[in-house]
Amino acid sequence: MTLEQEGYTKNLDTITLLRFLRARKFDVQLAKQMFTESEKWRSEFGGGVDNLARTFDYTEKPEVFKYYPQYYHKTDKDGRPVYVEQLGKVDLEALRKVTTDERMLQNLVTEYEKLADPRLPAASRKAGCLLETCCTIMDMKGVGLAKAGQVYGYLQRASGISQNYYPERLGKLYVINAPWGFSGVFAVVKRFLDPVTVAKIHVLGSGYKSELLAQVPKENLPKEFGGECECQGGCQLSDAGPWQDPQWARTPKRAQPVDDIPATESHTGEGVPTGTDGNPGMVQEQTGGHAAPAAQ
């Protein structure tokens, strides 16, 4: 029985379904289970993810970012949106004076929705090819056991949301300023990870700049990480990128009346040729080589 026959009507575009299939190694039943669990979560979290993404207002963001910066900023050399997270700046006591873990998670989900539309579609238009992933910079400067323990509960929930409901969004991960011993721990852990995932992860110490700049153009990388970008008002709050450029940006699908959304574009809004026929039934019933995974 197809997803449509089971009553599912949203998020059935080929690009989305392929992400779930890739996440489960093209085991159709496991991918279907992952998708249906995701749809259930989307209907419940924050009163419904679609509505949350339309209405969430993170008014405390400037204060939150003083103690836990997490933001998208321009693109890497492959055109992917760059996501920066500065775990070493976490101050849980200060954070809880200005927000809650639940609000932080709602912001995380809203930003994932914005990654799907408008960020990735705009980046894809500028790059001239389909982009489905981002380049993440995880800054560990200042991280110790005490700080890691402070946000363990939040990180555990955030990681669960990322893995279970937004699969296959990681293109590259640069862990910079990794503390002593982290590389050794990762060397052990990576033995249990999928080789494809391991190839995306780069664990770097304080001498990370040359390798990071090989992936992120200096004009796009914030100055504090060795780049040249100094956005007015600060890179953290600028949300700079192709999604702010009228040449590449389009109104997000969630902000459009349903009748105005082109039938050829998916809910993720990529809006660029994918090499597939857009028929969700094909991926629900079988893979059989008919639909190849999109390039990462």
Q: For residue 292, what is the DSSP state?
A: P
Does residue 41 sit in helix, strand or coil?
Answer: helix
User: Could you tell me if 38 and 164 are in contact, meaning their C-beta atoms sit under 8 angstroms apart?
Assistant: yes
Q: Where are the domains of the chain?
A: 14-53+255-285, 55-244
Q: Which tokens hold the place of 179?
A: 């503390």
Question: Full-prediction pTM beyond 0.95?
Answer: no
Tell me, what's the pLDDT at 268? 40
Question: Which contacts (CB < 8 Å, 24+ apart) does range 151-159 have?
Answer: 151/68, 151/87, 151/90, 151/92, 153/101, 154/101, 154/104, 154/105, 157/101, 157/105, 158/104, 158/105, 158/108
Residue 144, pLDDT above cutoff 80: no
List of E strands, the chain: 70-75, 81-86, 134-139, 170-176, 201-203
Which of the pair, 295 or 175, is modelled with greater confidence?
Answer: 175
Task: List, for residues 40-89, the tens digit of each pLDDT value.
Answer: 999 999 999 999 999 999 999 999 999 999 999 999 999 999 999 999 89
Query: What percent of the chain is modeled with pLDDT above 90?
Result: 70
Q: Does the domain spanning 55-244 belong to CATH 3.40.525.10? A: yes
Q: Which of 13-17, 128-132, 147-151 has the lowest mean pLDDT?
A: 147-151
- Indicate the pLDDT class of residue 260, thresholds 50, 70 and 90: low
Report how far residue 120's alpha carbon sits from residue 86's, in angstroms, rounded to the nearest whole number. Answer: 22
